[in-house]
């Protein structure tokens, strides 16, 4: 059973296009996240949602719009894709509550902008 | 600004030896520190959590220390095996719990 699943795994598209990445978790977690891992391998948080409510928006361009239709899903829509958006995007989830709850990650979506 | 530093150079060790990875941080007072393992093409996998009031944690062959005075954590893998070869990420968080900051990771190669 996949705990955190992302689709698609690979996404190759042209500059200027709009694309979406989907994420689902079957762990019953309250909190979900989107991270961007660039070529230097830093994992940077983009958004955090708790019970479908946006908690963290780390100064991400408003071309990126997360949507959480329910606690188990957090999708990421990106408008007007730019070359600098090329990266691996990871979705994660965790239990809300005790400090330091581990995050469970999906296997990433590799986005390449041509 | 907050900064986490992990050795960017890969660590090469012989099977059976102890691997020690370092995580240093500045401009931050974390409530907790975590270590994750990441294999190529996969997402990070949680390994260990240590809180600010704890000095050391162990789990099987893994040991982590946390020195809030030095602002440093050490991650040890004893009796290392080739299967331990991966990138290991250090992560820090505060009491709010929603924002975790990750280091860039250290690549570990264990040779048979």
Q: Per-residue pLDDT for chain B (112 aa), expressed as one digit of tens each?
A: 778 999 878 999 999 999 999 999 998 889 999 999 999 999 999 999 999 999 999 999 999 999 999 999 999 999 999 999 999 999 999 876 678 899 999 999 999 9
Of the candidates A47, A39, A42, A43, the one whose C-alpha atom is nearest the C-alpha of residue A77 is A47
Each residue's pLDDT tens digit, A30-52: 999 999 999 878 899 999 998 88
Residue numbers in B near A99 (CB within 8 A): 31-32, 51, 93, 95, 97
Say yes or no for a CB contact (<8 Å) between A42 and B49. no
Report d(CA A62, CA A51) in Å as an integer. 22
What is residue A1's predicted lDDT score, i.e. its pLDDT?
A: 64
Would you say A107 and B43 are in contact if contact means Cβ atoms under 8 Å apart? yes
Instruction: Check CB contact of B97 with chain A, cutoff 8 Å.
Output: yes
Distance of alpha carbon A97 from alpha carbon B15, whole angstroms: 39
Q: Which residue of A has its CA nearest to B103?
A: A42
Kind of pairing between the strands at B106-111 and B11-14: parallel
């Amino acid at each position: 059973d996949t705990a955190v699943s992302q689709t698609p795994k690979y996404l190759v598209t042209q500059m200027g296009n709009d694309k979406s990445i989907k994420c689902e978790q079957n762990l019953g977690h309250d909190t979900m996240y989107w991270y961007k891992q660039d070529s230097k391998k830093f994992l940077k948080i983009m958004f955090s949602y708790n019970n479908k409510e946006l908690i963290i928006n780390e100064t991400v361009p408003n071309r990126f719009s997360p949507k959480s239709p329910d606690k188990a899903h957090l999708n990421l829509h990106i408008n007007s894709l730019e070359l600098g958006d090329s990266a691996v995007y990871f979705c994660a989830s965790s239990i809300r509550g005790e400090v330091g709850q581990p995050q469970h990650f999906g296997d990433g979506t590799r986005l390449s902008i041509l | 600004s907050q900064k986490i530093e992990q050795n960017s150079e890969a660590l090469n060790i012989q099977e059976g030896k102890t691997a020690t990875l370092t995580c240093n941080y500045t401009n931050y007072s974390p409530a907790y520190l975590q270590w994750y393992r990441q294999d190529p093409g996969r997402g990070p996998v949680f390994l260990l959590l240590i809180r600010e009031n704890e000095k050391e944690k162990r789990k099987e062959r893994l040991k982590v220390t946390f020195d809030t005075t030095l602002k440093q954590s050490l991650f040890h893998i004893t009796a290392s095996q080739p299967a331990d070869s991966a990138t290991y990420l250090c992560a820090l968080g505060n009491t709010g719990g929603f924002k975790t900051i990750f280091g860039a990771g250290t690549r570990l190669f264990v040779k048979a």
